[in-house]
Structure 1
Amino acid sequence: MGFRAQLAELASRFKQEVAFYRALHAHPETPKLARGLLWLALAYLVLPFDLIPDFIPVIGQLDELVIVPLLLYLALRLIPVSVRQACRDSVQVALTQK
């Protein structure tokens, strides 16, 4: 598998995951705390301030690699399995129809 194919697969997977989290956030059975954690993860990733400033070498960039997945993990733990599966299925169906 060439580099371009790997990059295309990675971009496709990223697109799938973004659609999945959007579907989770929009689902009516998603708990409010889980929605808040999803928003917090997005805000921490996008906003310019961090708990550990980025100008500190290595550690400044690693905090995003720890905090954002932790927030997503906690949000997913709060969401019922049936809701997660329904959202995953709906994203899969939507992407196959395109």
Structure 2
Amino acid sequence: MNDNRNEAGKHARLRRWAKAVKQDVVALYIAARDPRVPWYVKLAAAAIAAYALSPIDPIPDFIPVLGYLDELIVLPIAIALVIKLIPSPLMAEFRAEVQRRSERPISRVAAAVIIGLWIAAAAFLLWAFWPTPAP
């Protein structure tokens, strides 16, 4: 009986941690667009938010070890490092904005834009690196 409570407690803590990481990713997205954040922090925050929010996983989960390594270890560490670069009062403001936004409906337009950007990037890479016959 006590083991079940411990397991339930572990699952609840894990869910809270995952929700906090998700909220921090959105807060980093907001930070990347805020003029009070230095440009280099904006760049890092935008890159992490784009990677985390992208519907396309650059390292598929079916690849042993590496598939989950980015989501479970690398991404949370990167998020924590960028959060350290943002002044605490600003980060608190961004987190409050995330809470306010979470009460609004989800934007399907934003998802379509992100998918479009990934398709455009893939098309550009194909065009740029596709072998052309020698004249």
Q: TM-score range by the shorter chain?
A: 0.5 to 0.7
Alpha-carbon separation, structure 2, partners of 1:44 and 1:23: 15
Calculate the aligned-residue CA RMSD, in Å.
Answer: 3.5
Residue equivalent to 1:22: 29
- TM-score, length-normalised on structure 1? 0.58
Is structure 2 residue 67 aligned with structure 1 residue 61? yes
- TM-score, length-normalised on structure 2? 0.45
Computing the radius of gyration from Cα coordinates, the structure with the larger value is 2
Report sequence identity in percent. Answer: 22
Q: Structure 1 stretches of 5 or more lacking a match?
A: 1-5
Residue equivalent to 1:75: 82
SS at match of 1:28: coil
Residue equivalent to 1:90: 97
- Compute the displacement of 1:24 (Å): 1.8
Alpha-carbon separation, structure 2, partners of 1:76 and 1:48: 23
- Compute the displacement of 1:73 (Å): 1.0
Q: Structure 2 stretches of 5 or more lacking a match?
A: 1-11, 106-135
Q: Aligned pair in 2 of structure 1 residues 61, 85: CA closer, same or farther (>3 Å)? A: same
Greater relative contact order (Cα < 8 A, sep 6+): 1
Report how many residues are paired: 85
